[in-house]
Amino acid sequence: MKKHSILRVVAKILIPFVLLFALYVQFHGDFGPGGGFQAGVIFAAGIILYTLVFGLDTAREVCPKRVLECLVAGGLLLYGLVGTLGILLGDRFLDYSVLADHSGQHIGILLVELGVGVTVAAVVVSIFFVFVDRGRH
Amino acid sequence: MILLSLLVATAVAIILLRDLFAAVMLSGIFSLLSAGLFVVMDAVDVAFTEAAVGAGIATVLMLGTLTQTSTRERPAPRLDWSALVVVVLTGTALVIGTLDMPAYGDPTAPIHQHVAPAYIAQNVGKQSGRSETDDDDFQGHVPNMVTAILASYRGYDTLGELAVIFTAGVGVMLLLSGLPPTAGDTPETNPAESEAGVDA
């Protein structure tokens, strides 16, 4: 689709807003609707739009395979580590109240949702990449 | 009601269509309609997920699958009567089951009496010794109770769900990219690195 200039321009205008909206949904999830899962999917949708318009090879340069693989595991690890931090600080697994005096729950939920978002985005993008890669040959 | 009838119309159209491309598009529309239905029922978080995953990602992935298969459905074999009987019986049983359910939004329904009030007040597992002051934001609690329940009260569940997504992603990557190496998929130039990858 590289030759369709209208698609290219519209996608270029749209993608930053999609990614920004994903970040908004991610970090605003404890105030309004949304959260890590939705944010991850929206972020992945932005990258998928990029892949559809600019091709898999360009998108692979933006999100290298190794980075994606690290992110897939990294999000889950972040979730587990935040949970373990609760034990280390003398409370129960996944109890965030000990992380800070008053807003411990808040910080814990924010970090955990970040882990969810990172893993979901990386998994969706990876699955899409292997699908497209298989479709080419 | 309008949304529900549109949902039924879309579902019937998906069943009748033989063109798989149109069926995939209609399933995307089906998801979008369900998302609208969830918004009407005040479940914005679920609607959000349905719109993003059902109407967005799932449609794209199904289109990706279509590029590797045929876009026409094979003509169906003759009608299977036993399957029809099973489906009709199950549907009837489900409809009979709903007759006993309390009306939608009924505040005296059992589901609103059990643990829900404690979750809404966000005082499940709150430790008595810890004082809550008014100056910190929302007394350290989270105004969106869906997020609070998913990430804090049901933290184990969400951790498990994330592990499921992780496993699914790793599984798909292993299955699809573990095939014979292709021209576009050149291995890393560093031989030690690729050896380590094989060992792992």
Beta bridge partners of B72: B19
| Tokens 């008053």 -> residue | A102
All residues of chain B having their beta carbon less than 8 Å from the beta carbon of residue A130 are 172-173, 176-177
Q: Find out whether A97 and A16 touch, Cβ atoms under 8 Å.
A: no
Dihedral Cα B181, B182, B185, B187, nearest 10 deg: 40
All residues of chain B having their beta carbon less than 8 Å from the beta carbon of residue A113 are 147, 151
Q: Is A133–B127 a contact, with Cβ atoms under 8 angstroms apart?
A: no
| Tokens 């589901």 -> residue | B111
Closest chain A residue to B160, measured at CA: A76
CA A2 to chain centre: 26
Q: What is the pLDDT of residue B200?
A: 35
* Closest among A111, A26, A101 to B159, alpha carbons compared: A111
Q: Is A137–B64 a contact, with Cβ atoms under 8 angstroms apart?
A: no
Amino acid in the structure at residue B106: D
Chain A: closest CA distance from residue B98 (Å): 29
Residue of A78 and B152 predicted with greater confidence: A78
Residue B140: is its pLDDT beyond 60? Answer: no
For residues B36 and B14, give the distance between their C-alpha atoms in angstroms, rounded to a whole number.
19
Q: List, as ranges, residues 116-135 from B with C-beta within 8 Å of A.
A: 125, 127, 130, 132-133
For residues B200 and B188, give the distance between their C-alpha atoms in angstroms, rounded to a whole number.
15
Burial of A38 by CB count in 10 Å (0-12 exposed, 13-18 middle, 19+ buried)?
Answer: buried
Between helix A36-54 and helix A5-27 the angle, nearest 10°, is 170
Write the ipTM.
0.86
Q: Find out whether B156 and A94 touch, Cβ atoms under 8 Å.
A: yes
Q: What is the DSSP string of B117-165?
A: HHHHHT-TT--TTS---SSSGGGG--S-HHHHIIIIITHHHHHHHHHHH
For residues A37 and A30, give the distance between their C-alpha atoms in angstroms, rounded to a whole number.
13
Among the residue ranges A91-95, B107-111, B118-122, B172-176, the one predicted with the least confidence is B118-122
pLDDT tens figures, A3-40: 788 888 999 999 999 999 999 988 887 777 778 888 99
Confidence grade of residue A137 (pLDDT, cut at 50, 70, 90): low
Q: Is B147–A113 a contact, with Cβ atoms under 8 angstroms apart?
A: yes
